[in-house]
Amino acid sequence: MTSLTKQISSAAILERAKAIQDDLLSYRRHIHANPELSFEENKTAEFVVETLKKFGLKPKSGVGGTGVIVDIGEGSGDMVVIRADMDALPIEESNDKSYCSKNKGVMHACGHDVHTACGLGAAQMLALDPPKNGRIRIAFQPAEESTNKDGLSGASLMINDGAFEGAKRVVALHVFPELETGKIALKSGPLLAACDSFNIKLQGRGCHAAWPELGVDAIVVASQVVQAIQTIVSRRISALDPAVVTIGGIRSNTFKNNIVADSVELTGTVRYFHADTHKVVRAELENACRIAEVMGGSYELHYITENPAVVNHPEAVQIVEKVATEMIGREAIIEATMKMGAEDFSFLSDKYPSCFICLGVQIPGSERFLHTATFDVNEDALPIGAAMLAASALAML
C-alpha cells in the first residue's frame, strides 16, 4: 500500500475515501437516527469510541464532559487537530427516511452527524498508515449548540481539559445545504459572526383590563422597547459594519383578555464581527430598555457575551486550498462570504491558526435549511468531507 505520508496525492486520498463510502454512510445514518442534545452525547460518544477501537486506535473519552479524543501518529513532532462536533438540536424531524431520528423531539438538523462521520472516516484512513512526522489528533466535541450554567460550550470545555494543548493548527468543516455538492467554500479572515445573547424583563403594574389607567401595561412598554431595539442596527451601526439584533421570543406573565400584564420577558441574539460593534449594541440595548422607566415601569437587562467570530488564518486556508485544488479541482472551490451564523469553533480559531471549511451538501431540486425539521444532506459529500479533513491535517503537519 502506498503510504498516506509518502507523497500520496490529495486526489488519491479522495479515492480512498470513496472506497469506504459505505462505512461513512453507516456512521452518518447511525448517528442521525440516534441524536442526542448538548451535554447528553453519551451514546454518541460510546459509538465513536467503539468505532475508533475497530481501527486499532486508543481513544480517550470523558474529555470536556462527553467529548472524545484520539491521537494518530508518532508522539513527537507537531500536532494538528481535526475537530468534529457531535450534538443535535431540540427539533422534531419531519423527514421520511429509514435513518430518521428515533428520539422524539431531537434531530441532527445542523449536520453534526456528518461532521462526526467525516471525522471517523478520516481516522479510519489515517489509522491504516499513521503519519511519521507528528501526530494528528481528532477531537469529537460535545455541546456546540449550547452552553452550561457557567456559560461554557463544548469547545471551551475541551480547551480547558487540554484537548488542544500544543496544537500547531486546527481544521474543521461544516455542511452548507445551499452549496453545491462536490464543492467547498473557503475564506481567509472573518467567516462566521460573533454571537451574544440577552434577556430582558420589563416590569409594569398589573390591573383589570377595564381600567388600564390604574396600571402600567407591560405589553405596551415591551412594544415600545422592541421598536427601539429594531433601530439599533439601522440607526446606530454603520451600514458598512455587518450586525444583526433579533428578538427571538416575547412572553407576558399573564395571557388573558381582561388582565393588564404586569411583566414581560424578551430574549434575543446579537451577531457582529467587530468588537466595537459589540460595545455600541450593548449600550444601545440599555438605552432602549430605559423607555420602560419613562413609561412608569422598570427593567432588568442580562447581556451574555458568547462566541467570538470565527476567523480563518490565511496560512491555514492556503494549505487547505492547495489540498482542495489537487483533490477536487480549482473550479470546485468557492470564495466563501461572511455569514451571520455563529460557531464555537471560534474559541479555537482565536487561539490556534485554523481553517473552517464550508462543505457543499446540496440535494438537487430539494431546498433544505439548517436548523429546520426537514434538514437533510446529499450523502455524496461524505467522502469529500472525510478526505478533506485527512488530507488537510496531513498537509498541515
CB 175 within 8 A of CB 111: yes
Tally Cβ neighbours within 10 Å of residue 11: 15
User: What is the distance between the alpha carbons of residues 105 and 236, in angstroms, rounded to a whole number?
Assistant: 39
Residue pair 308/237 in contact by the 8 Å Cβ criterion: no
Q: Which residue has the cell 449550547?
A: 146
Catalytic residues: 87, 144
As a whole number of Å, the CA-based R_g of the chain is: 23
Q: 109 and 167 in contact (C-beta within 8 Å)?
A: no
End-to-end CA distance of the chain: 21
Cβ neighbours of 214 (radius 10 Å)? 11
Cell of 217: 401595561
Q: Using an 8 Å Cβ cutoff, are 41 and 108 in contact?
A: no
DSSP 8-state code for residue 19: H
Cβ-Cβ contacts under 8 Å for 238 (sequence gap 6 or more): none
Q: How far is CA 75 from CA 113, 133, 137, in A?
A: 29, 9, 11
